[in-house]
Amino acid sequence: MASPSPKSPEQSEKNKQYDRQLRLWGDHGQTALENGHICLINATALGTEILKSIVLPGVGAVTIVDDNIVSDEDIGSNFFLECSSKNLNRGSEALRLIIELNPAVQGYAVQEPTDQILLDNPDFFKKFSVVIATSLSEKTIQTLSNHLWEINVPFILCRSVGFLGSFRIQLKEHAIVESHPDNEQHDLRLDVPFQTLFDYLNSFDIDSLDLKDHGHIPWIVILYKAVQKWKISNSNRWPMSRKEKNEIKAIIDQYKRLDDNGMPIYEENFEEALRAVNTALTPTFLPVKIQELLYSSSAINLTKESSPFWIMCSALRTFVEAEGKGKLPVRGTLPDMTASTDHYVTLQNIYRNQAAIDSEIVYRKVQEIVTQLHCDHISESEVKLFCRHAHDLHLIKGSSIVGEYQFNNTVSSYIARFLEEPDVMMVHYILLRAAEMFRSEHCRAPGEWEPESDISKLKTCVSKLLTDISCTPFPKDDHIHEMCRYGGAEIHSVSAFLGGCVAHEAIKIVTKQYKPVNNTFIYDGASTNTATFTF
């Protein structure tokens, strides 16, 4: 006997290394991550903790922008600086040690101040998938966030002071194709079966099958047959109410075979059909949320600059209006069920083939648009993925950080509402903002030199902010005292915790999977309280 040659696919080193995360976001998620380029401004302890959790899973590239020189305090709180780093550029040093974690990641360090880059070379930021910044001045925050808003680059602004931490995500427009909804509805089309499905469903005659085959009929067929029977005596309507659905259940019960004693034989597929009555009979429709997306002006008025998402939305709209007859493309997935392998595979192929036909049509429409507009190619697999998740597309239209800093009316009344309650987490937000204001006025953190005399200065900042949003001063000063005691120092565990959170969100944004926090997260390490706000 000839010894057969081993053909087992050798798993690449890379896939072994990333095995545990591929199971979370898939190959295409990993590819998106590997095409990502993250910019970190300021390699503080928080900054490097964030970068660590993005470099480990294998982002494509990172750039650190930092013009600071490494101090003793930096070495004490930052894992990615060594004693020998002292007096060297902080960004370059941190980069060197972070890149050691994963040699596959490209790393760049830029030693210019952010303000200077914004003045000389604002296009610098265009290439990034996400820009993350820590310990920025009030003024830079506004210039930078304004610029990133205009060029539509996602921005995460982070703070870690003492026991307090926060991040704010600025997304002008962020489209999520794979939102991973909690309970995905199945797309079975029993109310409007397409031709191949119609033929298949009608090829069954439940009563004539022998017992073994009877127990292998997919529940979809059982349910369909029951509804057809019901429709005859109900003027061809579709069952909607609970009462009507119970009538369907009664019909299914009648299909069951009886044993010698006249008792119904337990058959799993019939039980599944009964369980599915409540969920699987929802009529096929175009969700309002998706309809709004397809008819939004971005999807209708395409330009050369339109993103692939809007081009695909536009193509999808024409599909829905024409071939789809008001419905989205068939999703093409089939739930688990008790059935013989033959039945299951046939049924699966029927749905899959229809899904392939539908997405092929959408793809052709996409190609037409691309040719017309002379814009970048969109791959077929991208369109496929888009069609499969067409029921759960999600668009985030965020708000700008500049608006938040200038306390426009919406923001002021929003904050005021929480302060009236009073919500201690919103108090922390005000304190973080006040500390930032203090820093821009006095060029140091509150409490860094003179904790006692800084208390009144910080109090002045808090009052200014509260006046801006027409709120009364805080009844007690304890939070102000606390902030001065921190002296602007970072607590490593708080930064480590927050670093994980920010990396978490950055990965969601880069992979365009899962909905990120919208849009502000505040953390109090002393009480382990967290809160999210939407400014």
Question: Which of 78/92 has CB closer to other proteins?
Answer: 78
Q: Binding to other proteins (CB under 8 A): which residues in 253-272?
A: 266-268
Q: State the nearest-atom distance from the C-beta of 237 to other proteins, in Å.
A: 32
Q: Binding to other proteins (CB under 8 A): which residues in 80-99?
A: 82
Q: Would you count residue 396 as binding other proteins (CB under 8 A)? A: no
Please select the residue that binds other proteins; options are 155, 200, 521, 535, rule is CB under 8 A.
521
Q: Would you count residue 1 as binding other proteins (CB under 8 A)? A: yes
Q: Binding to other proteins (CB under 8 A): which residues in 200-219?
A: 211-212, 215-216
Which residues 6+ apart lie within 8 Å of 322 measured at CB?
Answer: none
Please select the residue that binds other proteins; options are 175, 498, 509, 522, rule is CB under 8 A.
498
Question: Which of 27/292 has CB closer to other proteins?
Answer: 27
Best CA proximity match to 483, nearest among 416, 433, 443, 441: 433
**Selected range binding other proteins among 74-82, 237-245, 251-259, 273-281, rule: CB under 8 A:** 74-82
Q: Would you count residue 451 as binding other proteins (CB under 8 A)? A: yes
Q: Binding to other proteins (CB under 8 A): which residues in 132-191?
A: 162, 178, 180-182, 184
Please select the residue that binds other proteins; options are 146, 228, 291, 333, rule is CB under 8 A.
333
CB 70 within 8 A of CB 81: yes
Best CA proximity match to 63, nearest among 40, 88, 36: 40
Q: State the nearest-atom distance from the C-beta of 243 to other proteins, in Å.
A: 31
Tokens of 367: 């190609």
Q: Would you count residue 494 as binding other proteins (CB under 8 A)? A: yes
Q: How far is CA 200 from CA 30, 203, 289, 293, in A?
A: 38, 5, 32, 34
Q: Identify residue 355 by its one-letter amino acid code.
A: A
Question: Which of 147/508 has CB closer to other proteins?
Answer: 508
Q: Would you count residue 346 as binding other proteins (CB under 8 A)? A: no
CB 76 within 8 A of CB 65: no
Q: State the nearest-atom distance from the C-beta of 258 to other proteins, in Å.
A: 15
Q: Would you count residue 469 as binding other proteins (CB under 8 A)? A: no
Best CA proximity match to 285, nearest among 386, 192, 180: 192
Question: Which of 61/483 has CB closer to other proteins?
Answer: 483
Per-residue burial over 89-100, b if 16 or more Cβ lie within 10 Å, else e, is bbbbbbbbbbbe
Question: Which of 59/131 has CB closer to other proteins?
Answer: 59
Question: Which of 246/532 has CB closer to other proteins?
Answer: 532
Please select the residue that binds other proteins; options are 107, 222, 499, 519, rule is CB under 8 A.
499
Q: How far apart are CA 404 and CA 408, in angstroms?
A: 7
Q: State the nearest-atom distance from the C-beta of 501 to other proteins, in Å.
A: 6
Which residues is 395 bridged to in the sheet?
175
From residue 92 to residue 131, what is the string marking binding to other proteins with x (rule CB under 8 A)? Answer: --------xxxx----------------------------
Q: State the nearest-atom distance from the C-beta of 148 to other proteins, in Å.
A: 23
From residue 280 to residue 319, what is the string marking binding to other proteins with x (rule CB under 8 A)? Answer: ----------------------------------------
Q: Would you count residue 432 as binding other proteins (CB under 8 A)? A: no
Question: Which of 60/335 has CB closer to other proteins?
Answer: 335
166 membership: H or E segment, kind and range: strand 164-170
184 membership: H or E segment, kind and range: none
Q: Would you count residue 336 as binding other proteins (CB under 8 A)? A: yes
Tokens of 231: 């429709």
Do you find a cis peptide bond into 4, omega within 30 degrees of 0?
no
Q: State the nearest-atom distance from the C-beta of 72 to other proteins, in Å.
A: 8
Q: Would you count residue 363 as binding other proteins (CB under 8 A)? A: no
Q: How far apart are CA 267 and CA 226, in angstroms?
A: 16
Q: Would you count residue 481 as binding other proteins (CB under 8 A)? A: no
Q: How far apart are CA 337 and CA 358, in angstroms?
A: 25
Q: Binding to other proteins (CB under 8 A): which residues in 7-26?
A: 7-11, 13, 15-26
Question: Which of 43/299 has CB closer to other proteins?
Answer: 43
Q: How far is CA 159 from CA 218, 363, 442, 502, in A?
A: 55, 44, 18, 11
Q: State the nearest-atom distance from the C-beta of 218 to other proteins, in Å.
A: 10
CB 473 within 8 A of CB 419: no
Q: Binding to other proteins (CB under 8 A): which residues in 42-61?
A: 45, 49, 52-53, 56-58
Helix (H, G, I), strand (E, B) or coil at 171: coil
Q: How far apart are CA 425 and CA 532, in angstroms?
A: 9
DSSP strands (E only) in 369-516: 394-396
Please select the residue that binds other proteins; options are 301, 372, 467, 527, rule is CB under 8 A.
527
Q: Would you count residue 535 as binding other proteins (CB under 8 A)? A: no
152 membership: H or E segment, kind and range: none
Best CA proximity match to 221, nearest among 272, 185, 183: 272
Which residues is 130 bridged to in the sheet?
38
Q: Would you count residue 417 as binding other proteins (CB under 8 A)? A: no
Sign of the dihedral through C-alpha 82, 85, 89, 93: negative
Tokens of 529: 């309280």
Note the residue count of the chain.
Answer: 535
Helix (H, G, I), strand (E, B) or coil at 156: strand
Q: Would you count residue 250 as binding other proteins (CB under 8 A)? A: no
Q: State the nearest-atom distance from the C-beta of 487 to other proteins, in Å.
A: 6
Please select the residue that binds other proteins; options are 247, 358, 454, 490, rule is CB under 8 A.
490
